[in-house]
Amino acid sequence: MTTIQNTKLKATFNELGAELVSLINLEIGKEIIWEGNADFWSGQSPVLFPTVGALKDDKYIFKGKTYELPRHGFARKRVFAAKKSSESEIIFELKSDEESIKIYPFQFSLEIKYTLVENKLTVSYQVKNLSEKEMYFSLGAHPGFAIDTEKGLNYSDYEIIFSDDEKLEIHPLADNLISNKIKIIELENKTLPLSYELFSKDALVMTTMKSQELILRNKKNNHKVIFSFSNFPYFGIWAAKNADFVCLEPWQGIADLENHNQELTEKFGILKLEKNEDWKADWAVEIE
């Protein structure tokens, strides 16, 4: 485990997956990140790369060859190299190797930088194509935020406020794949009340969400997590059944569509990088 901190926040990371496993508000001693209880979900803030969500039959085809990848890719199960640049900033890097090439035939560098400034944590991603040919990938964030249900508080005391959406167009999941159906959730005052029932049929997957900022707010004590992101066109919201957390997930890419032909180059949301080209995106969480 590796830690960075300033006077307001303390963040802890696991080099396995470069995963954020703790973010403590030092002013009130409150943990912001889900505890990772394996009875519900053992993850806390995994990095999804080089795919987001499930592949059809866990397989994809590239240049006539079939490869297998687990749901959300392999980066979350790999050890990243850590380089601490200051007390309040750390950089992790994962590079392709002989093992990754067997299941993902591209040479790459994935760099993740975590930076604390005042009461804000910023997470920046850079993917670089080190291959001699074009490279195809997706990347997503999956941070789980703790929901406080102690001292008279309930899951339903929380809500998500969207900066720019009056309604949400949801793509329901069918066996972990994106179905052809659309479900509309109308928002009142751009607000989505949280409930355990909201995720009874898995994640809320959106490809047309307008908001670039969301606020996770407790209506009783007005504690807030302000979540913002850039260069991620898709978004997911998810929680495990009856678990006291909610994941706010900006994505570049989504699970395979039900009728996808498994060709990697034709996958919805996939990105292509030319030789030596890079891609950048980020998200941030501000604690109030």
Instruction: Find, among 141, 153, 186, the residue nearest to 45 by Cα.
Output: 141
Domain total for the chain?
1
* Longest distance between any two alpha carbons in the chain, whole Å: 58
Q: Provide the mean pLDDT of the chain.
A: 96
The count of other CB atoms within 10 Å of the CB of residue 76 is 19
What is the pLDDT, as a whole number, of residue 159? 98
Q: Which domain holds residue 274?
A: 2-287
More confident residue, 84 or 188: 188
Residues 71-94 pLDDT 10s:
999 999 999 999 877 999 999 999
Predicted TM-score of the model (pTM): 0.96
CATH number of 71's domain: 2.70.98.10
Residue at token pair 């994809």: 60
Q: What sign does the dihedral 12-163-178-243 (CA atoms) show? A: positive
Residue 107: pLDDT band with limits 50, 70, 90: very high
pLDDT band at 201 (very low <50, low <70, confident <90, very high): confident
